[in-house]
């Protein structure tokens, strides 16, 4: 694919006119028209200005964690009994939840982590006995593209600003943003 053809596709996906892009990139509208029509092979510096401007506009338009997160976070305390957390998970219809110590995330418990311990007497097991390491903690300003990449490797992300839990983002929350 012709890389310069991407200029037109990106511009249109951002709902920009040639004039608007020209102003942002500090080039002439006629330059963009000639590039898009295939009548001009621009200097590297002009092509870079256009792509940099388009990338900046895409980032500006991208959703942030604050716009995707689920604020209704159900949590468990590290000292909660597993049997009580199972009841909580069933009540709220969730399959995973963050584990807190003094209101700070320290781990995650999932249906799978609990199932892995069902060969034991779970009536006395605490969540701290079955939880996994804490999922990544991200800022509420993290961009959707970063969230997408992270959720390929983790089941949930915790959103926190200045040590305060703001919410979580699960794969389901991300899919809901489309």
Interval 85-141: pLDDT, tens: 999 999 999 999 999 998 889 999 999 999 999 998 888 899 999 999 999 999 998
CA 118 to chain CA centroid, Å, is: 32
131 and 54, same structural domain? no
The CATH number covering residue 131 comes to 3.10.580.10
Secondary element (H or E) of residue 113:
helix 111-115
Q: Which structural domain, as residue segments, surrounds residue 53?
A: 5-61
DSSP state of 14: T
Q: How many domains does the chain have?
A: 2
54 and 78, same structural domain? no
74 and 49, same structural domain? no
24 and 112, same structural domain? no
**pLDDT for the residue 116:** 94
Average pLDDT of the chain, as a whole number: 90
Whether 1 shows a pLDDT value over 70: the answer reads: no
User: Where residue 35 falls among pLDDT bands split at 50, 70, 90?
Assistant: very high
């Amino acid at each position: 694919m012709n890389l310069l053809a991407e200029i037109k596709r990106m511009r249109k996906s951002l709902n920009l006119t040639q004039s608007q892009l020209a102003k942002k990139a500090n080039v002439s509208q006629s330059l963009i028209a000639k590039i898009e029509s295939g009548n001009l092979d621009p200097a590297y510096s002009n092509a870079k200005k256009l792509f940099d401007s388009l990338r900046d506009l895409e980032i500006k338009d991208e959703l942030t964690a604050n716009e995707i997160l689920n604020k209704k976070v159900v949590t468990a305390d590290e000292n909660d009994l597993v049997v009580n957390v199972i009841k909580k998970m069933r009540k709220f219809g969730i399959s995973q939840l963050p584990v807190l110590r003094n209101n700070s995330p320290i781990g995650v418990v999932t249906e799978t982590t609990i199932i892995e311990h069902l060969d034991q007497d779970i009536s006395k097991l605490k969540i701290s006995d079955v939880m996994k390491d804490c999922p990544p903690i991200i800022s509420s300003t993290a961009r959707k593209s970063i969230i997408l990449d992270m959720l390929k490797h983790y089941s949930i992300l915790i959103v926190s600003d200045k040590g305060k839990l703001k919410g979580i983002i699960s794969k389901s929350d991300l899919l809901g943003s489309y």
